[in-house]
Structure 1
């Protein structure tokens, strides 16, 4: 029996073709494992590689084997000195390696699992699949670091666009001085003297000898001028640039979420995917990002990430309590002059009557002056999303936030019913980065 497996190496010594075919075969199991990992992981660690376990069924490689019923065979079978025909063999003891017996299991049948490592790019590709991000944005988010060229002196080789005229002329001037290349002034003076002597009608012998000497000096200077060029290829210098990561800037991302009884597991799962996507984008601009989690019912509190997503505490809904808590934290720890502040808020749209206008006033008067970007997502049912044909319609909180969006260009709001709705919320932020407009 012969196995044929493509082991030809792709760039960086990886069998990319085989790996991709394998991932296509087990895509459903891998996608399920990725979704579970996103729910389990911390937001800051979501883009790390992952160990994935899938069923061993269906992962075998294709192979050829000989037909047992046809063909001509010549076999050499090994003999033995211990047994002969008719001997009875004892059954091998159970549980020993390399032997046929196995100990029974009391808890029913099981199935072997195959463990492999999903790389960072493969993990992110699976995560982005449901979000329906454009390919350009996917490639941008997979980049580990953003680098910019920095001046690092000069080099003797480069492109014409990087030519340093000043350094080239300085080198040429020093070389001409060192090699005593005749100057234009020296040649003009000598030429004028020769012309004056040649203009004499009846020069004496001394004048003729002087004229001949000056001609020889002029010819020598002209030959030396041709041999020693004004600019030599050795003089040319180009500006040299080295790619370096962008200088780190301080950034903080506030995650605000309503955890009242109406926010179930589906709503919290969509909210987490929204927070993860914003964090991945910010990670391209800042080497280090601090995360602040604020959950609220009728009261708000700063909590850790595990409590933020998994605590079962419920209650009423007063959204302004979360905005007030965010304001206190900024004033105490994150002054806007030193930090780039981003905020992402997730809610089902319900709020205590009369509190929504207070939220809008708080954003207009204080928070939006400090924030580089504030994104609000209202998580609704799919049927409810289909009924809402216009963004002008909505509950009291949505209508109040519409006033904020009309005043502040760095405020974005969107309804989310499925994972693919998340990207449009951040589309403006991606577009601003692509156009080169700095928020910092």
Structure 2
């Protein structure tokens, strides 16, 4: 009997199948860990991979075991402390310690070590932006913004283990074995038929029969040496991304950089805008982004200046809204573009200016934009701008406003603002 030892080196992605199965099975736990990790990242490190921690109690497998009942007798060798009928005391201190909490020893309660799982940048961003979309996106110009969707594109001989098509591969294995062994099996049948003829013949053909049996044995050994499946048989499902033309879209990012916005508040605003930028660039292609910073005066800036400039001053929010109105009129006609806006501020504004902001929004901007999101970042009570914007929100369905008090609120608020509405129909 021949034995074959496969000494081929395992590929780097040998555990990809189990990895993808694990992510699918524990997706909710991983998504929660990913959302929790947002608040612990720096502003510049939000688009890399992540080590997520999952409690072991959440990844335990169901098991079947015999229930208690009946009469059982067990022998435990080495018992020199107890006799039949003795009661065994519970171990002091309860279960073991561990877990993701403090490393100090514990003398009570139960614990379990966390399971640490490393996910890649792509997996991290996929989980981060799953089920999100730009609200009210209208197909008005089918030549600019392209959204990619994944489609099946036949089979290929190489690919990731998670894309392996088992049925197709087994069909290839059967075809190969038939091709390699058909002639040998046919020859075996011919030799077996010849042996039957010789055995039925009255003359002695003992030596010839032995030779034929040797040849049959050799042919069967060759047939057995043909492996059941080989890398040549493997077929992987092939996927390709096809562009899906959608619309021309522009996102206006308006950030308050006045003196009332301390560094912590500005960092939270930057985190929100970085999330927004990553979401747009990962989900859509060719979405234009316009950055506007404002204090007493508003200015259109590039990405570098928007995130890293140290300029500051007083607060007149209407300056940013006026500048946005001018830019839309000059460069982004509303009948050709899907216009979006996200405004971040601590809500502190010049008292006489907040009503002017409401007037600009209701009379000008909200008639042109698909969706306007206002985010107030403050631990204090709502400021004058929030109270004015509350009236706008009640009167306009395309205006949304949310409150962020601490870093942990950023991602949940972001998801609420851009969650996919599965029941809504596409705007025609």
TM score, norm. by length of structure 1: 0.47
Structure number with larger C-alpha Rg: 1
Q: Which has the higher contact order (CA 8 A, sep 6+)?
A: 2
